[in-house]
Structure formats: structure tokens, C-alpha cells
Amino acid sequence: MTLLLGASTVGLILALLALGVYLSFRIFNFPDITADGSITLGAAVTASLLILDWPPALATLAGFFAGMLAGTVTGLLNAKFRINGLLSGILVMTALYSINLHVMGKSNLPLLEETTLVTQSESFFGLLFGPGDVGVFGWEVNQRDAAALCLAGAMVAGVGMILYLFFRTEFGTAMRAAGDNPQMIRALGGSVDFILIFGLAVSNGLIALSGSLLAQYQGFADVQMGIGMVVWGLASVIIGEALVGSKSTGIVITGAIMGSLLFRLIVAIALRWGLDPNDLKLITAVFVFLALVVPGALAGLRSRAGRAR
């Protein structure tokens, strides 16, 4: 049960990453691998500020804004300096590695002694249900695990809702159009450059927020924690799309969250069955490769079969 709870919590926290990746990869069709750096940036900024005894909510918010800044730089490199999108992301991601080390001062910052959003929600739970384990559907659950799960769930639900509502505003609609058909939105008076920069800022802000929560949940920030995270987020988005099978924004947002949750659970179970953790990134990459190639290949086979008949 603890395993499932832990996996669900991480799945929900990484759902924020999936939403960020959805924004860059799916809305803008922009392969933004800044994510690998900005998830660590969020963790680093929040962790450093927590150690300076900042209130956890502010430290988390600061992590979000740091990510927005990173996304803005990637957007500027691409939109203003006309650097290829993939390269813009690589440049910022590489620069962020040094920046993250500077922010943290060393390669790993433990947070075990600090007050974090997780410890705060744990004490909140203590006030609500009294000390000791919490009963959930007949299971006795560690209070910290339950509190962290609720915190992550509330954050993801809130962010998902805001994102959904945002996409129905004038500016949000223009943002989707900028990804769908830039020529059209330009002809209707939208600055595609500005919209892209803003969109990448929000995307990386969400990814940094995910890193910030992850650091508070696992109790440390590590300069290596971002490696391969883009692929992880993309896998979640792809699973989500397969789950919901619709292009409608609200449903796809829900799908990405569900995808992240499901993916994390599958991984937790696979690890439990004896999967070597060192193989995890390889398997994730292969999975994304298959998810990208198989649908096309199947369609090709089907049309070939149709022609043969």
C-alpha cells in the first residue's frame, strides 16, 4: 500500500511536468528539452530558499518563477535570435546545469530538517485527524504519505483546472491557434513570437514547480535529478492521449495527468518485480520510440492491406 501511495504521489507531482511538456510539445509542436534543466532549477531554488528558512509556499512559488525565466530564455533564443528550437533548449539546459550548481552550492541539498509544503500538510493532517495513522478504505496509512498524496493531488487538480480555463480565454485560444496555424494568428494580429515565449515560460514554470514539489517530497534536491525528464513527461502525455483518445483540451489535460499517474504505477510495479532501476531510462526511451512509431506503422500496414484487397 505504501508503495502504491508513494508511486501515486510521485505520479501526480510529475503530472505537472507532463502538463508542461504537453504545452511545449503538443500545443506548440516545440521539442523543448529545457525541461531537463528547469525541473532541477525548480528543485534547487526551492531547496536553497527553504534552507534560508523561507516560508514553503513562497519558496515553491520562487521555484515556479525561476522555471518561467528559463523558459523565457529558451523562447527568446528561438523567437528573437532564430536559433533552432531543439538547440535553444539544449543551450539553456546546459547553462542551467552550472546555474543549478551555483544555486545549490553543492550537488545535493538535503531537506530533512526543513519545514516544507509536505511537512506543513502533514501537520495539517495531524490537526484534522489527530496523531497516528490515517484509515483509508480500511487500510492504515502513514500520515506523511497520505498528506503528501493529498497535497500533490490538490496542486495538480488546481493547475489542471487553471490551465483548462486559461485555454478558453481570448489569449489562451490565441495560444492554441499559434501552435496550430501560426500564419493564421499572425494575420489576425497575434504576435506568434510573444505567444511562444510566454507559452514556453509557463511550460517551464510548471516543470520547475514539479521539481520543487518533488524535492520537498523526497527530501532533497540533486543536480542530476532532471536527466531524462523530458522523455518521462512525453511518455506520460502519450499514454494519456492513448487513454482518452480525444483532442479536446480539457480531456487531454486530464489524460496527461492520468498518463503520468499510470506510468509511475507501472514503473513501480515493474521495479517491484525485479526490473533493474538502471534500465529504467532505456525502457522509457524505447517506450516513447514505440509509441511514436507504432501507430504510423500500423496505419501503413492497414492501408497496404486495403490496397492489396
Partner 1 sequence: MLEVYGIGKTFHAGTPNEVFALRDVSFKLLEGSFLIIIGTNGSGKSTLLNAVAGTFSLDRGTVRVSGHNITKWPEHRRAKLIGRVFQNPYSGTAPNMTIAENLSMAARRGLPRGLAWAIPRTLRSELRDRVRTLNMGLEDRLDNDIGTLSGGQRQALTLLMASWLKPDLLLLDEHTAALDPKSADQVIRLTHEIIKRDKLTTLMVTHSMQQAVRLGDRLIMMHRGSILHDIQGAEKARARPEDLLQRFEDVRRREQLDAPVAEMLGKTYV
Interacting residues toward partner 1 by CB under 8 A = 166, 168-174, 176-177, 180-181, 183-192, 247
Q: How far is CA 208 from the centre of its chain?
A: 8
- The smaller minimum CB distance to partner 1, of residues 89 and 190, is found at 190
Question: 50 or 237, CB closer to partner 1?
Answer: 237
Least Å distance, CB 169 to partner 1, is 5
Find out whether 179 and 32 touch, Cβ atoms under 8 Å.
no
Minimum CB–partner distance for residue 227 and partner 1 (Å): 32
The residue to which cell 506523511 is assigned: 144
Q: Which residue, 168 or 272, is less far from partner 1 as judged by CB? A: 168
CB of 170 to partner 1, least distance (A): 4
CB of 185 to partner 1, least distance (A): 7
Q: How far is CA 209 from the centre of its chain?
A: 8
Q: Which is nearer to partner 1, 54 or 166 (CB)?
A: 166
Is 133 in a helix, a strand, or coil? coil
CA distance 170 to 208: 26
Find the shortest distance in angstroms from Cβ 252 to partner 1: 11
Contact 93, 34 (CB under 8 A): yes
CA distance 202 to 196: 10
Question: 230 to each of 81, 138, 162, 169, 293, how far by Cα in Å?
Answer: 24, 37, 22, 28, 18
Looking at the Cβ atoms of 144 and 186, the one nearer to partner 1 is: 186
User: In terms of Cα–Cα distance, which of 210, 187, 221, 3 is closest to 110?
Assistant: 221
Q: Which is nearer to partner 1, 113 or 170 (CB)?
A: 170
- Could you tell me the smallest distance in angstroms from the CB atom of residue 67 to partner 1? 21
Terminal-residue alpha carbon distance, the chain: 52
